[in-house]
A and B are shown apart, each in its own frame.
Chain A
């Protein structure tokens, strides 16, 4: 399709062309970079400390809310991997989130399996399997798929799953599956509260560190190249489509893990969880926080959910309108998200694969 190809090419040209402007806008932050100060570890540390002490300061019902936010941050991480690092617009990330939620809900309802060491891997596997299926279908093949096809394909998949969940009696139809039994370790039950909070936080930190390692590895370098200029990466001899399918599957697995935690935390699953609403919500988180930085996704989820929780008492009606306006402003004027206020372009792009000397050598090998 020549039309879409030229569109893609223009997009890439625009991406590349945008960068110097962004870099200029970040003049102040870039100056700090040169001074040798790293902002990213500081931001990450502050967020971690805040997350650790939060339950001590918050009231019980707020801890429950904070747990939900942490789970959604994990979900946001999965989308950030796919969009922020590999440039695949997945408008259907909720498909993996929700189907894993439904999967573990069915395990708990029909087979009485609630052991944490069974349900969480099961949920992750469900997310992985769905992502492999959908990603494999959309991304692989003789002809590379256009970005538009992938984004609309994932969107359609999510929408179709929503309709299926609504109409399928076995999955509870419109009402979903209510009152899921709590997760267990032996005889201990994880109910809402500080224990669940620290469990989820621990999982988030582990997944975050794994993702951090992944995106700073040689694999991450190839992904970044893919995002910036897919054709050039393909000319270097990388199998661009395979790389995309792999990161899409990893994203799906993380979304599945988040979805199974969400199902057990809320105690029910309902069709919206696989649908377009949640799919677009996660896009909002990442765009707000800053795509292409892992911590940006986490911060975005916390800010969007936090402000929406705070405003929902008085301004429930107009909050979505404000959200829309803010999103538009971010897209127009801060395409790298809120994190770009403190984070320089150079640090966002970062370095890859260990020490610079070593990575240079490996790069030469990887690109014959």
Chain B
């Protein structure tokens, strides 16, 4: 019983991490039609900022709070300078964001060297429930993921900003005719997606430690999750991330980890092939 509970918690916490990382990727893919290869590097930057705060002797949480804002601002600038030119051509956008990601990743690699740098958990220790111990920080990540998910959902479905974003997604020409500044909306959406990636990086760095390929590790999983969930809505990629995260964490408990690792990807691609619209089809929230 205790073992099953620990396993369930592990699976849940990994699922939450994947959801957190995919949120930003999904918003950018759904709302803008761009598969952002630099998203993994935004995660890496978030992690790096947290590490910097820690290395400078500041409390770790200051780094975690700063990370989304810094990465979001960077996302806004990059969108205005570079990404904006790619909207018409999705493949070129992939290559361009890949180049951006390469620049960011190698710069960070130059800064930290080839090391694995650890950052301690801001909330250490464990939560004891009877004889079972679960990591307090992983529990915090789950809670924050739920809050962020709810926040994003409310932002997109209940606020006037969300309405404008959805209007721009649905029909850019009509949105422009209605007086919505679509370039500004695209910039804000991209910055928001980048900020979410920064937050994800900041939160997961105590769990995975900081290394240059941190973002790359999650990027392909993230893409697969977005496709499985369905591009075009907010809830689709989140659902996909939940499925992929849970599967990747749960399968190694059942079959050999090597096979499980590959099986998740194979299953996902087969699923997308036969249901290209994804788990949840449709546009909007």
Partner-B contacts on A (CB < 8 A): 1, 3-4, 7-8, 10-11, 13-15, 89, 91, 137-138, 141, 143, 145-149, 151-153, 155-157, 159-160, 163-164, 166-168, 276, 280, 283, 287, 317-318, 320-321, 323-325, 327-328, 331-332, 335
Contacts and interface: CB of A to CB of B under 8 A. Distances in A.
Contacts of B99: 324-325, 327-328, 331
Interface of B: 33, 35, 82, 85, 88-92, 94-96, 98-100, 102-103, 106-107, 109-110, 216, 220, 223-224, 227, 231-232, 257-258, 261-262, 265-266, 268-269, 272-273, 276-277, 281, 283
A163 B103 CA distance: 25
Contacts of A138: 269, 273
A89 B91 contact: yes
A3 B31 CA distance: 10
Contacts of A137: 269, 273
Contact of A324 (B103, B266, B273): B103
A153 B269 contact: yes
A176 to B, nearest CB: 15
Chain B residues touching A, majority SS: helix
Given A159-B265, A280-B98, 11 more contacts: A4-B276, A14-B89, A89-B94, A156-B223, A156-B269, A164-B258, A317-B109, A320-B106, A324-B100, A324-B103, A327-B99
Contact of B257 (A91, A167, A287, A331): A167
B88 A13 contact: yes
19 contacts: A1-B277, A4-B231, A11-B91, A14-B89, A89-B94, A141-B273, A143-B276, A147-B90, A148-B90, A149-B227, A153-B269, A153-B273, A155-B220, A156-B268, A163-B261, A320-B106, A321-B110, A324-B106, A331-B99
B57 to A, nearest CB: 27
B88 A145 contact: no
B91 A320 contact: no
A145 B276 contact: yes
A335 B92 contact: yes
A315 B95 CA distance: 24
A98 to B, nearest CB: 15
Contact of B95 (A4, A148, A153, A287): A287
A327 B258 contact: no
Contacts of A168: 258
A149 B283 CA distance: 18
B220 A7 contact: no
Contacts of A323: 102
A276 B220 contact: yes
Contact of B96 (A4, A325, A331): A331
A368 B71 CA distance: 55
A135 to B, nearest CB: 13
B223 A11 contact: no
Contacts of A163: 258, 261-262, 265
B96 A3 contact: no
